[in-house]
Amino acid sequence: MSNAVKNLPVDDVVFKGKALIVDDEPTNRLILQAHLSKQGYKIISAVNGLEAIEKFTQESPDIIFMDVMMPEMDGYEATMQIKSLCGDRFVPVIFLTAITNEDELAKCVAAGGDDFLTKPFSHTLLKAKVDALERVRDLHREVTKQNSQILRDEEIAEQLFSDVVMADNVELDKLHVMLRPAVTFSGDILMSARSPSGELYIILGDFTGHGLVAAIGALPTAEVFRAMTKKGFSLSKILKELNRKLEYLLPGDKFLAVGAISIAANVQSAKVWNGGIPSILHLNSQHKILNRFPATHLALGILDEIDDEKPLHVDLNEGDTFVMYTDGVIEACDTNKNMYGEERFERHLLNSAADDILINVEKDLINFTDGHVQDDDISMVVIPCTRKLIADEKEYSVKAIGHDNHDGNTIIHFPVSTDKNISLEWQWEFNVHSASLKKVDPVPVLLSQIQELEGIHAHRQNLFLIFSELFNNALDHGVLELDSKMKADPDGFTEYIEQREQRLDKLTDAKIEISLEKFIFDNDEYLKIRMKDSGNGFVIDDDIQNLDINSKLSGRGINLVRELCYYVEYKGKGNEVEVVYQFS
């Protein structure tokens, strides 16, 4: 120790660390103490393994020099116990031994030793070994510090994920969900939301890999999904936009495997789309598999555009169940690296009551893995298609708000701009031509436009239904000349969808004109909606109230529009309709 250090009081000396010397020979302790003091260490001594463990617990040394053969407890046992007390902290142990046998030296390393010095040792060799282990220790501390920061970041991200992505999900209390991340932050994502018409959209996604890197797309995915669902976009349009967003944002080796289901508000039908997850299962009330929906699409974020194939339609009965899960379920391994597998999964699934499917599968999965480290995120959602899943009538009502229904003999005359008692506030119109009719759904655009001009939250569901019915009638029955009577049975519905796609694909030189007018009449606010298609018109009776061709369309049709609106009138050959909706 330098003279400057010698002249300082002991409490004022700045040491580079604490060194614990464990040796039952006083001479060995004194020699080693002299060498280490010159290197700036504060010295702590112990005469056997038991005392070494006690001193380690009390003093928390930075480096340990351990003799092998000692009374009470030898150096091997003491080192193993001390290493178990270190936790994530790296405390190097250098064995002091006169043994030169390779097997005995290997035993020192096996006990947890990081290096060894053969007695008698030189000061130069001691200093070199201490310097080398200090570098290793400092590097370990830096890595530990960085890892702690990453863990804190992941915890914050996981909280944000829960608050932003998961917290806004709907109907989770009616679903059975298992989400078991492999690390703090899951790369699997579950989202659910209702459209303005009450359809329930459920998406289960699996980003490439797991952890924070795997979930970098979770927030933009949730943002796009909820915004488009709220505006009334179809499931296929939402998936297309999600693909576009993720293809732009994600690195080239990252993508999102997706299973998506939309369930009608009355829970009588559903649409299913599988882009990369294991087969989605459709079970009946007797727990027989009615349909398997394997992955027929690529995962999202791989190609610029996904294919135009629409989600598959399926009719539902009370007690039916959907099961979606990620590959982490069937690829979970036991301690022998055997995978859980699809066969075992389905066996426990089919032998369970509807409410017990998830519980039984999860319990068997835990027993199977038996403490094996989880390699991938494990996620599963069971969707019981019961009356409990029917959309809340208070939130998704089909009844008009704030006014009584009227027949066609209204006192309001058109065009409204010519009536002195009517104050026109704004007009907006646009035409949708053949190319756009094949790929654009204007209904969300209409809602967004009105949302920008008016506060329509209380009327959003009503307007969505009106716009959807009028536009679908104009496109399907006006432009494409489809007959809704085809949908009287499931086979007919399938044929209807196929013909619709075929005719839409061949469509040329067609258009639908849409115009909106907001006006005030006798202090009440109204919205006039006009749609005109280029088709040959509907087959209608003189009495518009008996328009049967539309009354059965998806169970709603013109009768629904009449119920919601103040005024409905079909004009000309039936290819033009005007309706008036009352806001106040």
Q: Quote the pLDDT of residue 258.
A: 96
Q: Are 167 and 288 in contact (CB under 8 A)?
A: no
Domain boundaries for CATH 3.30.565.10 within the chain? 416-582
Q: What are residue 581's phi and psi, to 5 degrees?
A: -110, 135
Average pLDDT value for residue range 230-235: 85
Q: Quote the pLDDT of residue 230.
A: 84
Q: Which residue has the tokens 């005109």?
A: 532
Domain 416-582 falls under CATH 3.30.565.10: yes
Domain boundaries for CATH 3.40.50.2300 within the chain? 3-142
pLDDT digits (tens, 9 = 90+) for 312-355: 999 999 999 999 999 999 999 998 889 999 999 999 888 888 78
pLDDT digits (tens, 9 = 90+) for 297-309: 999 999 988 887 7
Residue 9 has pLDDT above 70, yes or no: no
Reported in sequence order, the residue ranges of 487-559 that DSSP labels E, i.e. its strands, are 511-521, 524-533
Residue 205, CA distances (Å) to 242, 262, 313, 486, 500 in order: 11, 15, 20, 35, 30
pLDDT digits (tens, 9 = 90+) for 451-483: 777 767 778 888 888 888 899 888 988 889 888
* Cα–Cα distance, 512 to 489 (Å, whole number): 29
pLDDT digits (tens, 9 = 90+) for 475-512: 988 889 888 777 766 667 778 888 888 888 888 889 99
Mean pLDDT, the chain, integer: 82
* Cα–Cα distance, 576 to 554 (Å, whole number): 21
Q: Fold for domain 168-389?
A: Phosphatase 2c; domain 1 (3.60.40)
pLDDT bucket at 239, cuts 50 / 70 / 90? very high
- Listed residue (236, 193, 243) closest to 217, CA to CA: 243
43 pairs with which residues across the strands? Answer: 19
CATH architecture of 3-142: 3-Layer(aba) Sandwich (3.40)
Q: Which residue has the tokens 């732009």?
A: 248
Reported in sequence order, the residue ranges of 234-365 that DSSP labels E, i.e. its strands, are 256-263, 269-275, 280-283, 289-293, 312-315, 320-325
* Cα–Cα distance, 545 to 553 (Å, whole number): 15
What are the residues whose beta carbons fall under 8 Å from the beta carbon of 244, sequence distance 6 or more?
304, 305
pLDDT digits (tens, 9 = 90+) for 11-37: 545 568 899 999 988 888 898 888 888
pLDDT digits (tens, 9 = 90+) for 257-290: 999 999 998 899 999 999 999 999 999 988 899 9
Residue 399, CA distances (Å) to 197, 252, 459, 562 in order: 12, 48, 10, 10
* Cα–Cα distance, 111 to 51 (Å, whole number): 18
